[in-house]
Structures are given as C-alpha cells and as structure tokens.
Amino acid sequence: MTRYVALLRAVNIGGGSSMVMTELKEVFVSCGFDGVATYIQSGNVVFGCPETDEVAILAEIDRGIKQRWGRDVPVLLRSLDELDAMIAANPYLDVQTDHTKLLVTMLSGDPGADKQAALAAPPGESGTLTLLGRDVFVHVPDGYGRSKLSNAFVEKKTGVVGTTRNWRSVLKLRDMAAA
C-alpha cells in the first residue's frame, strides 16, 4: 500500500473555498482510501491506496469532491517517496535554518527546466526560487507575507497549477504519511 498526500489548492483561504476537514476526510474514506487523516484546515489529506496510477487516484478524488461540494478543486498528489526526495533536494536547508522562511510550491506537472529563468525574483525581492521537477523551492528571508514570490507568481511564470506549503507543513505531512 502506497502512502500519499493530497494537497488541495486554495481551500479555506476565503470566499467560497470553505471545506470542513472532517467532511473532506469522509470523502476520502468513501473513495476507498485507507488510513485517512487531515492536517490543519488548508486541504492536506494523508491516505493509503493500493493504486499507483496518479491519474486514476486524482480522478477518484475529483469525483468525490465534486459529488460532495459540487465544484472542481485542483488537487495535487505526492507519494511518501516523492516527499522524501523533495525534502532531501531542498537547496535552501544549508542557508536557512528558520523553517518559516522556507516553502515549497508543488506543481501539478513538470513545467520543464527552461522555466527556471522565468522564476527570477523581481527587482527589490530578497527571496529566491529553485525549480526541481514538479517542485519549486522558495526561500524568503524577509518572510512570505511580504514576498512577491507567491503561489500566483509561480503559477504565472511556470504556466502550471500549484499549491504552496510552508516547510513545517511539508515535514509534518511527511511524518504523517510515514506513520
């Protein structure tokens, strides 16, 4: 059984994006997934599944969400192995020990290495971005709240849907998936 983390984009950040995590957990259970748990209120779901085809898993999740809430919500998927590789690959761990200044924007697809140049920080921005496959590592020395290197910035520059999580959440989700 493979352990996965599903990351829903733009859930519970205002407007009509509200989802109760207990209901989201019920949706995943009804999809036939095992060991379902949610983390905080921003659409993070850890679960087990014998299926390894990401497209099939996402289709089942999309069906369940649409049936319950009647709308499409972008969902990104990472396996435990992918999370482990992501954590090992973070290029900023040696330069930043304050994990509140580290984030990852996980993308729904690989935009291609040629998009790295498009991710150059705008003038006056102290942060940096590094694209590795489907993940964009974000280092914001002045904090994410003041940074222009938002999820919307990354999506615009790569042309790929993504969702951003802080490093603490990434580590917690990895631990939950490994348990």
Confidence of residue 14 (pLDDT cuts 50, 70, 90): low
CB atoms under 10 Å from CB of 105, counted, come to 25
The pLDDT of residue 27 is 95
Boundary of a domain, candidates 81, 113, 141: 81
Residues 167-178 have a mean pLDDT of 97
**Domain co-membership, 143 together with 172:** yes
Domain region containing 21? 2-81
Indicate whether 42 and 14 sit together in one domain: yes
Closest CA to 58 of 9, 98, 16, 105: 9
pLDDT at position 125 over 60: yes
Q: How many CB atoms lie within 10 A of CB 90?
A: 18
Q: Are 35 and 76 in contact (CB under 8 A)?
A: no
Distance from CA of residue 85 to its chain's centroid? 14
Last-in-domain residue among 45, 65, 81 = 81
Round to whole Å and give the CA distance between 39 and 127: 27
Residues 58 and 97 in one domain: no
- Strands of the sheet containing 102-107, edge to edge, are 128-132, 135-139, 102-107, 162-166
Please report the pLDDT score of residue 179 as a whole number.
Answer: 94
Asked which of 81, 99, 125 is the last residue of a domain, the reply is 81
Q: How far is CA 48 from CA 22, 97, 130, 132, 178, in A?
A: 17, 31, 30, 26, 10
Tell me the H-state helices in 32-150: 54-69, 80-89
pTM of the model: 0.92
CATH of the domain at 158: 3.30.70
Summarised one tens digit per residue, pLDDT across range 65-111 is: 999 988 889 999 999 999 999 999 999 999 888 889 999 999 999 99
On the question of pLDDT at 11 being above 80, the answer is: no
